[in-house]
Homo-oligomer: A and B are copies of this chain.
Amino acid sequence: MTATYRDVKADILDKITRGVWAPGSLIPNEVELAETYDCARATVNRAVRELADAGMVERRRKAGTRVRMAPVRQARFDIPLVRKEIEDRGARYRYALVHRDVLPAPDWLRARLKLGGRAEVLHLVCMHYADGIPYQFEDRWISLEILPQAREADFSQSGPNEWLVAEIPFSDAEISFLAVPADETLAAHLGCRAGDALFQTERSTWWQGRAITFVRLCFRPGHRMTTRY
């Protein structure tokens, strides 16, 4: 008796995965569940709320709680720092700055980050290696309107990501995953052939509605991003 919210959550999840409560069906309301498990309604509430957050059930006032028809709704991905990602695999991390430039933001970047007309940006191209083998190509753009101090920062020894996380918080971000063919530049840096299929992520970050940075990360051929849920 006196079940914890974890007990309640586990038991309900069990009933769902075993098919006792079928997809689409209504489960008992909170008061009934509280009696069943001999606990307070708040305890049941937390259990069921977490199941709803996880996408297992759907709740509506008055209508009650239903088991979702398609329970798998979302997956969570950790987005690690490259260095940590590589070191966690037991490999030695090495960083190299390939190119550095200050220039007016090109049109495509202004559109993507909603930048003003004459915004200047810092453009960095970097490489990340695992045990000396090319691991990731980084194409980074930093707004100098918001981060003028980036102009003076030294990116020859460590990557812009590490500098950025220490320098500024952020409030909003957008991330995309896609596949791209390697162009000559990518092929040269990643040690593959032009046209090879590469996994790429793109991330835009804002702070208080103002663009901070855009980055394009291109992984070596064969890279995969995996998660369980």
A105 contacts chain B at the CB level, 8 A cutoff:
no
Given A166-B23, A195-B195: A171 and B17 interface contact (C-beta under 8 Å): yes
Q: Is the CB–CB distance between B76 and A175 below 8 Å?
A: no
Interface 9-mer from A29-37, A86-94, A142-150, A197-205: A197-205
- Within A131-180, the residues touching B (CB, 8 Å) are 165-166, 168-180
- Within A109-126, the residues touching B (CB, 8 Å) are none
Q: Please, which residues of chain B bring their CB within 8 A of the CB of A74?
A: 76-79
Interface 9-mer from A1-9, A58-66, A95-103, A219-227: A219-227
A60 smallest CB distance to B (angstroms): 19
| Complex: A183 Cα to B60 Cα, angstroms | 47
Q: Is the CB–CB distance between A223 and B178 below 8 Å?
A: yes
A149 smallest CB distance to B (angstroms): 14
Q: Which of B71, B171, B227 contacts A174 (CB 8 A)?
A: B227
Q: Please, which residues of chain B bring their CB within 8 A of the CB of A178?
A: 179, 199, 222-225
| Complex: A173 Cα to B227 Cα, angstroms | 9
Q: Is the CB–CB distance between A75 and B171 below 8 Å?
A: no
Q: Please, which residues of chain B bring their CB within 8 A of the CB of A197?
A: 179-181, 196-198
- Specify which of A72, A199, A207, A222 lies most central, judged by the most chain B CB atoms within 10 Å of its CB: A72
How many chain A residues touch B (Cβ–Cβ < 8 Å)?
A: 51
A96 smallest CB distance to B (angstroms): 21
Q: Please, which residues of chain B bring their CB within 8 A of the CB of A199?
A: 177-179
A188 contacts chain B at the CB level, 8 A cutoff:
no
Given A176-B226, A227-B174: A75 and B79 interface contact (C-beta under 8 Å): yes
Given A81-B70, A169-B23, A169-B71: A196 and B175 interface contact (C-beta under 8 Å): no
Which 10 pairs across A and B sit closest by C-beta, in order of nearness? Answer: A179-B179, A197-B197, A178-B224, A179-B199, A179-B197, A17-B171, A176-B226, A181-B197, A70-B165, A177-B225
Q: Which residues of A contact B (CB under 8 A)?
A: 16-19, 23, 69-79, 81, 165-166, 168-181, 195-200, 205, 207-208, 221-229
